């Protein structure tokens, strides 16, 4: 490019120096730089490195004439827009003039010409060229701006797509439940990994929510979801319960979620979808339920324990007070004193059992239940325990029948006898005065103890909870006790690697079966 002050220069090409000087004299008053060339080749050489705003070419130059020079000027991209005036010494024929215009001439001037007319033509062509150049520059600028805008738009689209993919990746990998639906039918467009895991084998993508989740949500929930789509107001739920088959095993589990359903809007601000964001709070709900149950059990235990402890303490205190009065008066001999002391002893034994049970529960819950294993015969221990409880059975009007074969194992003798005693005492208490049978046998590779009574029995629903702390299948006022015996029994059996089961029905007695690992021969 030439410098700005030469941008409006005029290029003259003529092989006659006199003609060049004459043209220069005619055009000099216009105030534009004039470049003189003595041939078409010299003019083209100048245009290789410079610009001009107008070219005046003599038609009849030797070598490269004006037409050929114009053709080469028009053939280059950088110079093709330069206006050209052909100058000829004669008009010749119309074909010659048309040839000039065909080569891209703007005008065709025949010598001699009027200087004023020539200056007017040149002035107009320079103005036209200047305006054309401005328009080309503006078009080029707009083209560059358009290209830059298109490039920025593509970059913005690429960045938006990258952000969309990053967001989708975050949503998919989020630990919470996330789902996105589109349209008034709430067609699933995205469900993240946690949501699909929660849904198990259900395939929901591309399906309307009502169809995909049929039966999982109540009708009221769908009304609330529709309301969010219609109004744009978010719907918040806490500890919503839903039954799910996450593992595809055919069984459902009741789970709890805190969630929010909110509207998604398009660029115009119109609602076109919904997003569900949910956190599972099943563990928190269950923990609170356990805490509530623990408080209830504690209160029940305190009530039962105070009752159970007062029951032997009250007659014991009265009996001892009465005995002391008789002794003070000298009215009691040895014969009268003995039954009073025996009764007091039984009450203290009962208190001791209650305290022992409480200590056992404390050891179990704190993980301090230890076993002192030794080789022992289960049948021998069953007979010993049955013999120790013979007076209790006799007072209840029942008999204890033992049928035991010798089965040995490495067990904690004291703990195993505690298991036998707990089951036997319950059988006597709830047996209704009918016979109680204890059997010991080897079965299924284990030592099996069965304690069977023919008493009041246990309903099916109560059988699921009787091994829990402070749980009882009967009224405490009718039978007494703190509901710890079976809990302690199961913990001891579990610690030995065994198991305990119950078979019973209301009014048809109960059979408790304990299986313990035996010594291998």
Percent pLDDT > 70 in the chain is 83
State how far the Cα of 468 lies from the Cα of 458, in Å rounded to an integer: 15
Mean pLDDT of 7-32: 89
Provide the pLDDT for residue 170. 67
Q: Which residues on neighbouring strands pair with residue 257, listed in sequence order?
A: 240, 280
Q: Options 3.40.50.2020, 3.30.1490.390, 4.10.490.10, 3.30.565.10; which CATH number does 373-517 get?
A: 3.30.565.10
Task: Say whether pLDDT at 226 is over 50.
Answer: yes
State how far the Cα of 420 lies from the Cα of 485, in Å rounded to an integer: 11
Cα dist. 166→169, 176, 314, 383, 404 in Å?
Answer: 5, 17, 75, 74, 72
Task: Say whether pLDDT at 473 is over 60.
Answer: no
Provide the pLDDT for residue 378. 96
Q: Where are the domains of the chain?
A: 4-141, 174-280, 286-365, 373-517
Mean pLDDT estimate for the chain = 82
Provide the pLDDT for residue 101. 63
- Beta strands at 177-182 and 54-58: parallel, antiparallel or unpaired: unpaired
Least confident of 10-19, 251-260, 327-336: 327-336
Provide the pLDDT for residue 13. 92
Q: Options 2.40.50.180, 3.90.550.10, 3.30.450.20, 1.10.3470.10; which CATH number does 174-280 get?
A: 3.30.450.20
Mean pLDDT of 493-508: 92
State how far the Cα of 214 lies from the Cα of 237, in Å rounded to an integer: 19
CATH number of 286-365: 1.10.287.130
pTM of the model: 0.45
**Which alpha helices (H) appear in 40-114, and where do they start and end?**
40-49, 66-75, 94-102
Q: For residue 199, which of 218, 178, 219, 173 has the smallest C-alpha distance?
A: 178
Class of domain 4-141: alpha beta
Select the more confidently predicted residue: 330 or 387.
387
State how far the Cα of 415 lies from the Cα of 362, in Å rounded to an integer: 15
Query: What pLDDT, in 10s, does the model give residues 264-313?
Result: 898 888 999 998 888 888 899 999 988 888 787 677 666 666 656 666 67
Query: What pLDDT, in 10s, does the model give residues 210-219?
Result: 888 887 788 8
Query: What pLDDT, in 10s, does the model give residues 133-182?
Result: 888 888 888 888 888 888 888 888 888 777 777 776 766 666 788 888 99
CB contact at 8 A, 492 and 484: no
């Amino acid at each position: 490019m030439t410098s700005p002050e030469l941008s409006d220069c005029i290029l003259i090409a003529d092989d006659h120096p006199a003609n060049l000087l004459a043209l220069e004299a005619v055009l000099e008053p216009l105030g534009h730089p004039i470049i003189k060339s003595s041939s078409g080749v010299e003019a083209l050489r100048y245009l290789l490195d410079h610009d001009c705003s107008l070219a005046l070419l003599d038609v009849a130059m030797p070598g490269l004439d004006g037409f050929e020079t114009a053709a080469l000027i028009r053939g280059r991209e950088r110079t093709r827009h330069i206006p050209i005036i052909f100058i000829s010494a004669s008009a010749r024929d119309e074909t010659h003039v048309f040839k000039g215009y065909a080569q891209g001439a703007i005008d065709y001037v025949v010598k001699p010409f009027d200087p004023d007319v020539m200056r007017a033509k040149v002035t107009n062509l320079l103005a036209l060229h200047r305006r054309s150049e401005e328009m080309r520059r503006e078009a080029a600028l707009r083209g560059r701006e358009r290209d830059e805008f298109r490039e920025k738009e593509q970059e913005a689209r690429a960045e938006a797509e990258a952000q969309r993919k990053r967001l989708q990746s975050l949503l998919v990998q989020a630990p919470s439940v996330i789902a996105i639906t589109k349209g008034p039918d709430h067609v699933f467009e995205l469900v993240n990994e946690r949501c699909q895991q929660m849904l198990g084998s259900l395939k929901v993508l591309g399906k309307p929510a009502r169809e995909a989740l049929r039966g999982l949500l109540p009708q009221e929930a769908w009304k609330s979801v529709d309301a969010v789509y219609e109004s744009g107001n978010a719907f918040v739920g806490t500890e919503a319960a839903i039954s799910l088959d996450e593992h595809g095993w055919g069984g459902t589990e009741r789970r709890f979620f805190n969630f929010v359903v909110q509207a998604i809007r398009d660029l115009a601000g119109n609602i076109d979808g919904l997003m569900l964001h949910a956190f599972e709070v099943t563990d928190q709900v269950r923990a609170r339920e356990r805490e509530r149950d623990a408080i209830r059990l504690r209160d029940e235990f305190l009530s039962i324990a105070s009752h159970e402890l007062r029951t032997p303490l009250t007659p014991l205190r009265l009996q001892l007070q009465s005995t002391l009065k008789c002794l003070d008066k000298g009215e009691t001999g040895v014969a009268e004193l003995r039954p009073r002391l025996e009764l007091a002893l039984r009450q203290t034994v009962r208190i001791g059992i209650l305290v022992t049970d409480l200590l056992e529960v404390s050891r179990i819950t704190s993980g301090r239940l230890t076993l002192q294993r030794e080789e022992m015969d289960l049948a021998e221990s069953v007979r010993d325990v049955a013999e120790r409880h013979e007076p209790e059975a006799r007072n209840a009007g029942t008999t204890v029948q033992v049928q035991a074969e010798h089965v040995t194992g490495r067990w904690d003798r004291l703990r195993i006898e505690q298991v036998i005693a707990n089951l036997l005492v319950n059988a006597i208490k709830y047996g209704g005065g009918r016979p109680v049978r204890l059997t010991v046998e080897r079965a299924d590779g284990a030592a099996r103890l069965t304690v069977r009574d023919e008493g009041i029995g246990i309903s099916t629903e109560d059988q699921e909870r009787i091994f829990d702390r402070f749980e009882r299948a009967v009224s405490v006022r009718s039978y007494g006790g703190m509901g710890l015996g079976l809990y302690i029994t199961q913990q001891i059996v579990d610690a030995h690697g065994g198991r305990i089961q119950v078979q019973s029905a209301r009014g048809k007695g109960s059979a408790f079966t304990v299986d313990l690992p035996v010594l291998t021969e």
